[in-house]
Amino acid sequence: MAKLTKSQILGNLAERTGVSKKAAGAFVEELVKLAYKEAKNSFTIPGLGKIVLVNRKARLGRNPATGATIQIPAKRVVKFRIAKAAKDAILGTK
C-alpha cells in the first residue's frame, strides 16, 4: 500500500468529520504546534502514543570505516512511544 500524502490525510479527515479540508488542516497544524511546545513535559495523544524527551548517556562507538573507537557525547533525544491500544489495533491481540 502506498504512503498517504498530507493532502490525502487531510481529505480523509475532512470527509469523515464533516468539516472543510482547510479546517482539518488548521486542526492538524495546531495539534502539531501544541505537541512541539509541550514535548518537554511529555505530550500524549490518547490511543496513539506519547512524545517524550530522553537523556542518552555518553558511550563508546566505533567508526565503521576505520574501526577506530570514538566517544559519543551525551545528548537529549525525542522519542515517540506507541500506546498499547495502537499496538493492539495494528498488530492484533495475542
Q: How does pLDDT run across 40-78, given as a tens digit for each residue?
A: 889 999 999 999 999 999 999 999 999 999 999 999 999
Per the structure block, which three cell numbers stand in for 78?
A: 525525542
Verdict on whether the full-model pTM lies above 0.85: no
Whether the CB-CB separation of 11 and 4 falls below 8 Å is answered with no
Instruction: At 62, give phi and psi (nearest 5°).
Output: -130, 130
Whether the CB-CB separation of 50 and 64 falls below 8 Å is answered with no
The domain 42-94 having CATH identifier 3.40.640.10: the answer here is: no
What are the boundaries of each domain within the chain? 1-39, 42-94
Q: Edge-to-edge strand order for the sheet containing 75-82?
A: 43-45, 49-56, 75-82
- Cβ neighbours of 19 (radius 10 Å): 14
pLDDT at 14: 94
Is a pLDDT exceeding 70 seen at residue 7?
A: yes
